[in-house]
Structure 1
Amino acid sequence: MAFMRASKFRHVFGKPLRKDQCYDNIRITKSSWDSTFCCVNPKFVAIITEAAGGGAFLVLPVNKVGRVERDVPLVAGHKAAVLDINWCPHNDQIIASASEDCTVKIWEIPDEGLVKNLTESVVDLVAHQRRVGQVIWHPTANNVLLSAGSDNKIFIWNVATAEVLTEIDTPDLTLSASFNYNGSKLVVTNKDKMMRLIDPRTGEITAEVQAHHGAKPSQAVYLKEGKIFTTGFSRMSERQYALWDEKDLSKPLVMEEIDNSNGVIFPFYDADTSMVYLCGKGDSLIRYYEVTEDAPYVHYLNLYQSSDPQRGIGYMPKRGLNVNACEIARFYKLLNSGLCEIIPFTVPRKSELFQDDLYPDTAGDIPAISAEDWHAGKNAEPILISLKDGYKTVKKEGIKAVKKSDALTKMPTKKPASSTTTHDHGEEASEAASSGPAHQPENAKPVPSGQVEKFDATKLIKEVEQLKEIIKKQEKRIKELENKVSEMESGMEEIVNDTGAV
């Protein structure tokens, strides 16, 4: 006799809000890139939109529901389409965007929302040679951001100094990336069907496996306790999910087939409840599962179904939920009609009191560690907060980062030894900057207290331009030499042939 497994999440159900309580009339991007196109936090909802002659995304205060005006202000500083956006987990007004224009931009949204188009980013992160398709913030370290591009590179940035902490070469295009709970490890899926575990500080690939055999894109998300949840396709193009143990990737703990649809499935993970929500692109349903420590590990709970397929989807962090209504998840579902539908998922409870078992302490918005300490090798778990009295948003100081042309002079005058960065493949701009007067060798004397070391930014930029000119000349000279060698080789072949004929 089969028995029903007991779970407090077995009766979780999703119910969409009325249309007038959602956001309507949004020109959602028509991009074919595999992205969720939407990102939310307790203050704002951001949605990538169609934009003529550039890339833009919409940012609305969470409570500003209803019809969106055609001339609504946008974040519009990219020169080509925006492919991915991600809110900073430690500051609800900071958002990163990745674009086809090869740049990553960091934006600070005003407290009250946008009143006019925002075209000036706080900082530009420039290193990728081709379009950038992923941006992911570090879960515990302040101002640490991952970007992945079509140049098969992943960069880990210190956003506050606009410098690359780690450069990682991957064998193929990165389709998804996820940090583990404390941000000391990284899992990525690549276009070559492989899933790889990477040390984000050194860039070393520590393990790899072919997670799913199908040709279509797979996704991976790091769970707690060293587990990894993946979605992908079988050889027969059936959609699958799998659970892996980071210690042994030789075979999955679980692999189950889902259906025969063809949309990429995005997994959303809640570390507090150990629930995973699967949202397929073009699907009209959201499946949810509970992951446990014991076999069979992944337990199907239920699904939310509607008549409208999802174009994109956003997932609210736990601190943005209504705990008084026993809401344990909230999705923002983008429809082809231009509607952003809000779907709260709740656990039915009769009591009006705070439900401790549904809401253990959750990750707050205070970073546990600095970028420098993290890069020097320290780890820290997220700083947890109680949701008993609800989460109160607090206005924070923005990123005091360099802007555009000042990027070359935004190098620290003296770095502590612990945060010294080494690059396997040095970035030209950073190297050029460090060769200028802004850089000091490790044994240089510190600047006396009260004195400010002066930089000549114009001179520094001029030196970089001169370096670029020298490189161009050298490349031209190498090309000429290669042509001469080629001509000599052709001549030698003719002589050998003539000799052989004689």
Structure 2
Amino acid sequence: MSFRKVVRQSKFRHVFGQPVKNDQCYEDIRVSRVTWDSTFCAVNPKFLAVIVEASGGGAFLVLPLGKTGRIDKAYPTVCGHTGPVLDIDWCPHNDEVIASGSEDCTVMVWQIPENGLTLPLTEPVVVLEGHIKRVGIVTWHPTARNVLLSAGCDNVVLIWNVGTAEELYRLDTQHPDLIYNVCWNRNGSLFCSACKDKSVRIIDPRRGTLVAEREKAHEGARPMRAIFLADGKVFTTGFSRMSERQLALWDPGNLEDPMALQELDSSNGALLPFYDPDTNVVYVCGKGDSSIRYFEITDEPPYIHFLNTFTSKEPQRGMGSMPKRGLEVSKCEIARFYKLHERKCEPIVMTVPRKSDLFQDDLYPDTAGPEAALEAEEWVSGRDADPILISLREAYVPSKQRDLKVNRRNVLSDSRPASTPARLGAPSPAGSTAVTTASGSLYRAEEARKLDEIMQELQKLRTLVTEQSDRINRLEAQLGRLQNGDA
């Protein structure tokens, strides 16, 4: 009897990656040399953003996607930070809005002009100050408009309403050590995090509660990553005790043992996972590697199925991933990555070969569109919503974006508890609760005291102006008499 090896059927077994031609790359970009394990690159259907070297501060380039070829050294940058930029993230609900976190301890949110930059951009729409150490992670809420999460080297996670410049939630007791990454789940009701203490945590930000925790998810000392999949499972990358790189899949209902655990190799670069919820494919890129491995996640054992490896000659310094709505469906493109070299950015196209020119329904189920499902206030009140989906059958056409407006409530005319101003103040004192909002009586008392001080200062200035005005009148009268020879 002869046994034939059964090959698992999958439409993604033959996905192949291909770098674009040289003239479609972005050349002469001085990619940042900061030693921080972020992707250094963010991309959407309109713009490519890359963190770059900058003298005397932090900067990132924002290029219209079509601006390929050699980038002039004098090309304007976004350069309002006073320290190196560590992370950037495009708003999923507005292709012209991007957030950045920096070593200067601030988060800034920027409005990019519709056709790109013609001058350096130094003025953000809003500055969010609440961290006391560098901010290494910024990530937008997937479904609620204007909700932004930041995590700093102070081991604190802050959640902001960018539309009002308010600090919504402060989570300062969950992480005893450096936070490596944070990832929202599909509807933004929870997030998972990977921490230097080797724990993976699932956290409910609105309640400030720890939903689940797995200590020593990976036993190695090097950086881990944790991401949510569409069905609520958690996928992690990390290192074994013997420093071998690992992938694992976890059921949040039972984090005792992984559903699947695979060892890859013994390279030392952190593995950055990119996930496509429409195809359930995870692409894993190692920093300093020259390859992208991809795996399909299924409901049957062994759950994580290796598909293929895209390999190139040069190691990657960072990587960006295009949202599904920015891909060319007519070419059966299911993913596009933007690989950072030392001096350039190279798009890599992942396609599924098909003979037909017709729209491939099985490759392109409806995908998350740019419309927010909730307003920030609805999310804060406890509502959740899945992303609003769009069809890619007619190919996605970006619509006119509305400008980000920051509505700072006026403490003089608003009878509600005063919100924090655009430049938010220092963090809460030690021993504060895990979640603090800006509506407590202490906060109101402090605001009332500040308001009283302002009113007193105003009164003093008015008195001074009146006195000076009287003095001017007297001097003018004296001058008039001198000129007339009366004095």
Shorter chain as denominator, the TM-score bin is 0.7 to 0.9
Q: Match for residue 132 of structure 1?
A: 135
Identity rate, percent = 54
Out of 383, 386, 405, the residue aligned to residue 381 of structure 1 is 386
Alignment partner of 1:195 is 2:206: no
For the residues of structure 1 that align with 2:51 and 2:60, how far apart are their CA atoms? 4
Q: Match for residue 403 of structure 2?
A: 398
Q: Match for residue 3 of structure 1?
A: 6
Checking the alignment, whether the CA contact within 8 Å between 1:191 and 1:217 is kept in structure 2 is yes
Shift of 1:434: 4.0
For the residues of structure 2 that align with 1:48 and 1:396, how far apart are their CA atoms? 24
Alignment partner of 1:290 is 2:296: yes
Instruction: Please report the TM-score for the alignment, with normalisation by the length of structure 1.
Output: 0.83
Alignment partner of 1:275 is 2:295: no
Number of matched pairs: 439
For the residues of structure 2 that align with 1:63 and 1:316, how far apart are their CA atoms? 14
Q: Match for residue 177 of structure 2?
A: 172
Shift of 1:165: 1.3
Alignment partner of 1:123 is 2:118: no
For the residues of structure 2 that align with 1:313 and 1:65, how far apart are their CA atoms? 17
Instruction: Please report the TM-score for the alignment, with normalisation by the length of structure 2.
Output: 0.86
For the residues of structure 1 that align with 2:67 and 2:87, how far apart are their CA atoms? 23
Q: Match for residue 163 of structure 2?
A: 160
For the residues of structure 2 that align with 1:19 and 1:429, how far apart are their CA atoms? 55
User: Aligned to 2:94, what secondary structure does the other structure show?
Assistant: coil
Checking the alignment, whether the CA contact within 8 Å between 1:166 and 1:201 is kept in structure 2 is yes
Write the letter of the residue equivalent to 2:406: A
Out of 414, 417, 420, the residue aligned to residue 416 of structure 2 is 414
- CA deviation string 1:213-235 (max 9, x = no partner): 00000001100112110000000
Shift of 1:429: 12
User: Aligned to 2:339, what secondary structure does the other structure show?
Assistant: strand
Change (3 A) 1:413 1:321: farther
For the residues of structure 1 that align with 2:415 and 2:7, how far apart are their CA atoms? 63
- CA deviation string 1:293-316 (max 9, x = no partner): 111111100010000000010000
Checking the alignment, whether the CA contact within 8 Å between 1:329 and 1:344 is kept in structure 2 is yes
Shift of 1:461: 12
Out of 233, 238, 246, the residue aligned to residue 244 of structure 2 is 238
Change (3 A) 1:2 1:110: same
User: Aligned to 1:45, what secondary structure does the other structure show?
Assistant: strand
Q: Match for residue 462 of structure 2?
A: none
Write the letter of the residue equivalent to 1:394: S
Out of 198, 207, 225, the residue aligned to residue 219 of structure 1 is 225
- CA deviation string 1:288-336 (max 9, x = no partner): 0100111111110001000000001000000000000000000000012
Write the letter of the residue equivalent to 1:310: Q
Q: Match for residue 81 of structure 2?
A: 78
Out of 310, 321, 324, the residue aligned to residue 315 of structure 1 is 321
Out of 20, 23, 33, the residue aligned to residue 20 of structure 1 is 23
Checking the alignment, whether the CA contact within 8 Å between 2:58 and 2:84 is kept in structure 1 is yes
Write the letter of the residue equivalent to 1:121: P
Change (3 A) 1:369 1:22: same
CA RMSD of aligned residues (A): 2.5
Change (3 A) 1:50 1:182: same
Shift of 1:141: 0.6
Alignment partner of 1:459 is 2:454: yes
For the residues of structure 2 that align with 1:461 and 1:429, how far apart are their CA atoms? 25
Alignment partner of 1:261 is 2:277: no
Write the letter of the residue equivalent to 1:320: G
User: Aligned to 1:374, what secondary structure does the other structure show?
Assistant: helix
Shift of 1:243: 0.3
For the residues of structure 1 that align with 2:267 and 2:322, how far apart are their CA atoms? 26
Change (3 A) 1:118 1:324: same
Gaps of 5+ in 1: 417-421, 440-454, 464-502
Shift of 1:435: 3.9
For the residues of structure 2 that align with 1:90 and 1:383, how far apart are their CA atoms? 11
For the residues of structure 2 that align with 1:64 and 1:437, how far apart are their CA atoms? 48
Shift of 1:427: 7.7
Gaps of 5+ in 2: 419-431, 459-487
Shift of 1:185: 1.0
For the residues of structure 2 that align with 1:432 and 1:292, how far apart are their CA atoms? 51
Checking the alignment, whether the CA contact within 8 Å between 1:161 and 1:410 is kept in structure 2 is no
User: Aligned to 2:454, what secondary structure does the other structure show?
Assistant: helix
Out of 359, 362, 370, the residue aligned to residue 365 of structure 1 is 370
Shift of 1:396: 1.8
Q: Match for residue 358 of structure 2?
A: 353
Checking the alignment, whether the CA contact within 8 Å between 1:97 and 1:135 is kept in structure 2 is yes
Change (3 A) 1:51 1:3: same
For the residues of structure 2 that align with 1:182 and 1:461, how far apart are their CA atoms? 48
User: Aligned to 1:372, what secondary structure does the other structure show?
Assistant: helix
